[in-house]
Structure 1
Amino acid sequence: MNKRYTLGMLTLVAAITLSGCGAKKANDAEGAANGGNNGAANSSNESNATSGSGADDTTYLFASDGSYAPMEYMDKDVLKGFDIDFLDAVMKEAGLKYEVRNVAWDAMLESVKQGKEYQAGISSISITDERKQTYDFSAPYFESTNVILVKEDSDIKSASDLKGKKVAVQGGTTADILMTKIIGEGNTDLKKFDSNAVALLELDQGGADAVVADIAIVRDYIKNNPDKKLKEVLDNTNFTPEYYGIAYPKDSGLKAKLDPAIKAVIENGKYAEIYKKWFNEEPDTTHLTETE
């Protein structure tokens, strides 16, 4: 989280205001919708905790690229979304104070890596072996997968059918990595954009035959744009599950404070409550409790 970024355009950006899943980049054109790098911070005061870390009076600063609805997005000057609600529940469970701010994807990752201004990033960041070389990750808190978005009359049934087609992705995401392997490095049929919002616009305007992106983003876009007559295509062979985690600088002590809280939030029913709020269905947390 793998892994963000006229009335019609505002509807598009609000519906998928995206960052990703996997690795995402911010879209400068969406600065107003994303709140730039100066989006208002949500904060949480210390609360009674069942898995708290004692007398820690630090206010931890989190970064999130608010361009990936419904996971994280800007509503005027306030960050909202599944990740934001989940983080609030975790920090309350841990009994820790925090703030979360809207920060462009690349700047977010770099700042978290340095560990100076921001102590962590939560932004639909997929846990990958490559990223583990640079960051520590929390226990996984969300299972995702990439899916294909096409027009309802499309005959595309799998990722293999995308060869020879124009495919739009957000550059630097797991969708980009997967489709590069399938279509081929340097293939101009793979159209890479700064955000999923622009990739989706490319499909809408006929410049692409398909978009590949995280399932939550695709489903949210279909739900909010019924007039566009779109459908998702699942491909469990080429697109395997991936897991989002909170990213920390290497050797961060915050991981040890939050992993027990994440486990508690998943097990005590709060996670399911948040999940149902944003996705209107019960979560399957089996792999979250099994995966580390």
Structure 2
Amino acid sequence: MSRRKVERNFVTLALVVAALFLVAACGGGGGGGEQTAGGGGEGTTGMETGRTVTVASDIAYRPFEFYRNGEPVGFDIDLMREIGRRAGFTPEFQNVTFDGIIPGLGSNLYDAAISAITITEERRQQVDFSEPYFNADQSLLVRSDSEIRSVDDLGQATVGVQIGTTGANKANQFQQQGRIAEVRTFDTIEDAFTALENGQVDAVINDLPVSQDKANTSDGRLEVVQVIPTGEQYGIAFPKGSNLVGPVNRALREMKSDGTYAEIYEKWIGRKPEEIP
């Protein structure tokens, strides 16, 4: 065999060895790519750990989500961040008006949403929900000098609500029953609260924890005069078929059982939870 032929064969062999090494290197990373977060089941296969998850939230709903020094804080914010830590993703919050959240999920504009969203059958037709994470009722908030003490006193009153909420649904129901003269809708609950303080509406029907927080921080100007039992439960919402539902549910269960949920609840609601959903 000539020297030139030996050199040619050596080069060919080197190229083959290099190609085999490259194939092995590409094929050996299977454990670090897509995997099921937190184990199998509940339709979670294919979720990437370490991913950024876009989370829609109406960040004007204290104590669940609001801005402090330019950063989102609150019950829902802490809850979602801890869920993400356990499930292997980082939530990136986007401020969205409440009535735009469900349509946005339906159009896949967001990966998830947490915003004190009550689980209803109507919403279930459009999005998937996590297991419940909060029990809530509605409430009647008025100015402290008001003669209104219950829904039965509303008569010719004008009631403010936030558009697209279960509070708005309840107020509309009362109006159909002839118990409320007028229902005025606002884009945010803060707008409704401001209208109440300024005398533009006579009362606000809204989720109890939020109205109670507003009363507690109003220097005595506002008060909750009636709890309106509705037995609502909040859930985290997702586009239909999302592979986040399983990991989120597992993280929620862990947090409820190890005391983390109760700690977040007491931090933002100001008391221990009477019951955990």
TM-score (norm 2): 0.77
2:277 maps to 1:284: no
Q: 1:218 aligns with which of 196, 202, 211?
A: 211
Structure 1 Cα separation of the partners of residues 192 and 177 of structure 2: 19
Structure 1 Cα separation of the partners of residues 99 and 146 of structure 2: 34
Alpha-carbon distance change, 88 to 53 in structure 1, aligned in 2, over 3 angstroms = farther
Q: What amino acid is aligned across from residue 84 of structure 1 in structure 2?
A: I
Show the counterpart of 2:28.
Answer: none
1:147-177 deviation per Cα after TM superposition (whole angstroms, max 9, x unaligned): 0011334343332332322211112211111
Q: Secondary structure at the match of 1:124?
A: coil
Show the counterpart of 1:61.
Answer: 54
2:176 maps to 1:184: yes
Q: What amino acid is aligned across from residue 259 of structure 1 in structure 2?
A: N
2:90 maps to 1:90: no
Structure 2 Cα separation of the partners of residues 152 and 216 of structure 1: 18
Show the counterpart of 1:113.
Answer: 106
Q: Secondary structure at the match of 2:156?
A: coil
2:235 maps to 1:242: no
Q: Is the 8 A contact 1:137 1:246 kept in 2?
A: yes
Q: Is the 8 A contact 2:208 2:227 kept in 1?
A: no
1:201-260 deviation per Cα after TM superposition (whole angstroms, max 9, x unaligned): 2221222221111111111111111141x2212344xx3121111001111111111111
Q: Is the 8 A contact 2:51 2:88 kept in 1?
A: no
Q: Secondary structure at the match of 1:257?
A: helix
2:152 maps to 1:160: yes
Show the counterpart of 2:38.
Answer: 52
RMSD of aligned residue pairs (Cα, Å): 2.2
Structure 2 Cα separation of the partners of residues 107 and 178 of structure 1: 20
Q: What amino acid is aligned across from residue 86 of structure 2 in structure 1?
A: E
Alpha-carbon distance change, 185 to 176 in structure 1, aligned in 2, over 3 angstroms = farther
Structure 1 runs of 4+ aligned residues shifted over 4 Å read 185-188
Show the counterpart of 1:201.
Answer: 194
Q: Is the 8 A contact 1:160 1:182 kept in 2?
A: no
TM-score (norm 1): 0.73
Instruction: State how 1:24-43 maps to structure 2 within 5 Å.
Output: none
Q: CA deviation at 1:188?
A: 5.6
Structure 2 Cα separation of the partners of residues 86 and 258 of structure 1: 11
2:63 maps to 1:73: no
Which is higher, the Rg of structure 1 or of structure 2? 2
Q: Is the 8 A contact 1:138 1:258 kept in 2?
A: yes
**How many residues in Structure 1 have an aligned counterpart in Structure 2?**
233
Structure 2 Cα separation of the partners of residues 88 and 53 of structure 1: 20
Structure 1 Cα separation of the partners of residues 235 and 252 of structure 2: 10
Structure 1 Cα separation of the partners of residues 144 and 137 of structure 2: 21
Q: Is the 8 A contact 1:159 1:235 kept in 2?
A: no
Q: Is the 8 A contact 1:203 1:211 kept in 2?
A: yes
Q: CA deviation at 1:185?
A: 8.5
Alpha-carbon distance change, 195 to 131 in structure 1, aligned in 2, over 3 angstroms = same
1:97-143 deviation per Cα after TM superposition (whole angstroms, max 9, x unaligned): 3322223334433221122x421111111111110110110001011
Structure 1, gaps ≥5 residues long:
1-50
Q: Is the 8 A contact 1:70 1:278 kept in 2?
A: yes
Q: 2:260 aligns with which of 255, 262, 270?
A: 270
Structure 2 Cα separation of the partners of residues 280 and 176 of structure 1: 26
Structure 2, gaps ≥5 residues long:
1-36, 41-47
2:97 maps to 1:100: no
Q: Is the 8 A contact 1:72 1:83 kept in 2?
A: yes
Structure 2 Cα separation of the partners of residues 59 and 189 of structure 1: 44
1:82-103 deviation per Cα after TM superposition (whole angstroms, max 9, x unaligned): 1000111112222333322223
Structure 2 Cα separation of the partners of residues 192 and 64 of structure 1: 19
1:42-93 deviation per Cα after TM superposition (whole angstroms, max 9, x unaligned): xxxxxxxxx8248634322211121111110122431111100011111222
